[in-house]
Chain A
């Protein structure tokens, strides 16, 4: 290649190896260790994206599992019992999920704090182009709302009396109008988070391309609506249909 693009030939007929003009050790740092690379802005965004993928996969599994509720209380109870009988697998996935959450939250916070320092004096007039979306503007804030929701949700459904059958537990929690309102609002915020997140993760991982950008944008929107709808319909049914899960 060097010969082709004009490198001189050494007397033995081989092209001279690539020689650096600039030997300044500061500008020519040695190749980064993976650990160092992970801590850069791009490295942390890539991990943000990967943990986001894991959280999204969990949301899908969780949503699909919850949909069993539409088959009636018996189906839900036996599904829940089956799931809990797989105790080892459940604990394993819970640990993976917890790790993904902790990573996502800690990295998100570190990025947010750094970003808030990158422009010490703000503009007098802040006018965005049409490119920012409601989702992209609010990522850290929607994230915190999701976190609060998850804490409340776990107290209600996980760290509770586990001897109660699943269907009964759902009815106990989701027939409180105030709680259902909170639940639905949080799911709308989740939709907002995903409406940027799912598109964004492809960009962060370097996988996006103008060729399918429009398709990615549309499926992101569809995914956000589908997932949140799944999590909104069940509380609504439980609250408003008296015989749901009875």
Chain B
């Protein structure tokens, strides 16, 4: 049976504020229960630091149940850590071994400036949404069920795309710092459903344009985003964004 308590060493990016020069600091923790989540492990570290009169490590978190998209850091080169399909808050210490050395860095990309330590500003993703990731038709009250028939498969796919929690791991993992998986998911969830159609063309054009303006890189179809997405969003949604964009560029009025 695996050990219930493990000793680990941490190498964490510490940076006072957006302007300052950050650096890695080393810490060691002993007797970490493997039942703790990764963020709880950081809580333990911060408790120790505070008791020693040191500044705790700043990191983002909110729901701690993998649905809000606030948490996230790169652990040993992988956004949200080594387990596929998991947010950092849902990653548990049982996935690590006694004596492991963990290098913890913030998500890095030009449009994600570091606020402090592991906390980054993901406002660029909000700005991307503001460029078209919504519907502005007034859909009124709840319509009668089944007035618009949507095939189950289509609904499922729209749901898969809508599972995006906007954590930014796709950008963090992309060798080119591209936000195409995020944009693809946002365009897809609307492109698949009737409510999204009226503004579909504008949406694809405007979101891609804004994405470029915000300083994200270009998609090279490396598929790294798909592998690090905690919601396992498929690059088929990037293909759909490309399709929507090309159709819009060629045929819109």
- State the A residues within 8 Å of B (CB): 1-2, 4-8, 16, 18-22, 27-29, 31-32, 34, 36-38, 40-46, 111, 114-115, 117-132, 136-137, 139, 196, 199-200, 203-210
Contact = CB atoms under 8 A, between A and B. Distances in A.
A111 B218 contact: yes
Chain B interface bracket (under 10, 10 to 19, 20 to 34, 35 or more): 35 or more
Given A114-B218, A123-B77, A132-B175, A6 B141 contact: yes
B109 A125 contact: no
Contacts of B110: 117-120
Interface in B174-219: 175-178, 180, 194-195, 197-199, 201-202, 205-206, 208-209, 211-212, 215-219
A43 B249 contact: yes
B245 interface: yes
B219 A45 contact: yes
A6 to B, nearest CB: 3
Contact of B209 (A40, A127, A128, A129): A40
Contact of A19 (B136, B223, B241): B136
B79 to A, nearest CB: 10
Contact of A136 (B208, B222, B236): B222
A37 to B, nearest CB: 4
Nearest to B221: A200
Nearest to B205: A32
Contact of B77 (A18, A34, A126, A204): A126
A118 B215 CA distance: 7
Most chain B C-beta atoms within 10 Å of own C-beta, residue among A29, A34, A122: A29
Contacts of A5: 137, 139-140, 143, 147-148, 194-195
B138 A19 contact: yes
Interface of B: 11, 13, 24, 74, 76-78, 103, 105, 108-110, 130-132, 134, 136-143, 147-148, 173, 175-178, 180, 194-195, 197-199, 201-202, 205-206, 208-209, 211-212, 215-224, 226-228, 234-236, 238-246, 248-250, 252-253
Contacts of A131: 222-224, 226-227
Contacts of B242: 42, 45-46, 203-206
19 contacts: A1-B197, A2-B137, A4-B147, A6-B142, A18-B137, A19-B138, A31-B253, A41-B211, A42-B208, A42-B246, A114-B217, A115-B175, A118-B176, A125-B76, A126-B77, A137-B222, A204-B219, A206-B240, A208-B236
Nearest to B24: A124
B177 A42 contact: no
Contacts of B238: 203
A65 B98 CA distance: 62
A207 B206 contact: no
A119 B246 contact: no
A198 to B, nearest CB: 11
Contacts of B178: 41, 115, 118
A31 B205 contact: yes
Nearest to A128: B224
Nearest to A9: B140
Nearest to B209: A40
Contacts of B241: 42, 206
A119 B177 contact: yes
B62 to A, nearest CB: 24
Given A7-B140, A131-B223, A200-B220, 19 more contacts: A6-B138, A6-B142, A18-B136, A27-B131, A28-B202, A31-B248, A32-B209, A37-B248, A42-B241, A43-B208, A111-B220, A115-B178, A117-B215, A119-B110, A123-B105, A124-B11, A127-B77, A129-B227, A206-B241
